Amino acid sequence: EDKVVQSPLSLVVHEGDTVTLNCSYEVTNFRSLLWYKQEKKAPTFLFMLTSSGIEKKSGRLSSILDKKELFSILNITATQTGDSAVYLCAVGTGNQFYFGTGTSLTVIP
């Protein structure tokens, strides 16, 4: 059975902290891994990862994939209150994307 597991389920940090969100997976026919940020409504795209060891970076956010160990991490440095959201990991196979339960991040001023 294909599955995606995210940890932790929730996280509360202070502004300026650095956080690491984890996503592990077991799927057949892996194609890609995506990270999304969801604030109340539609998830918005952050990163797509297809190759191991190549870091994707956008401002204070970065992500990397390890296809041998079957996991990805999403790092957020110097967190801000606007980073508060649910972060979803999705793994794409031949037919669809499988989503994890998400990590709820709360950044306190």
Partner 1 sequence: DGGITQSPKYLFRKEGQNVTLSCEQNLNHDAMYWYRQDPGQGLRLIYYSQIVNDFQKGDIAEGYSVSREKKESFPLTVTSAQKNPTAFYLCASSALDRVYGYTFGSGTRLTVV
Give residues in contact with partner 1 (CB under 8 A).
4, 6, 9, 31-32, 34, 41-45, 48, 88, 90, 92, 95-97, 99-102
Report the distance separating Cα 22 and Cα 61, nearest Å. 14
Nearer to partner 1, 17 or 93 (CB): 93
> Residue 95 CB, nearest distance to partner 1 (Å)?
8
Nearer to partner 1, 7 or 17 (CB): 7
Report the distance separating Cα 63 and Cα 13, nearest Å. 19
Residues 6+ apart with CB under 8 A from 7: 21, 22, 24, 103
Tokens 């890609």 found at: 32
> Residue 48 CB, nearest distance to partner 1 (Å)?
6
Nearer to partner 1, 38 or 75 (CB): 38
Residues 6+ apart with CB under 8 A from 31: 50, 92, 93, 94
> Residue 78 CB, nearest distance to partner 1 (Å)?
26
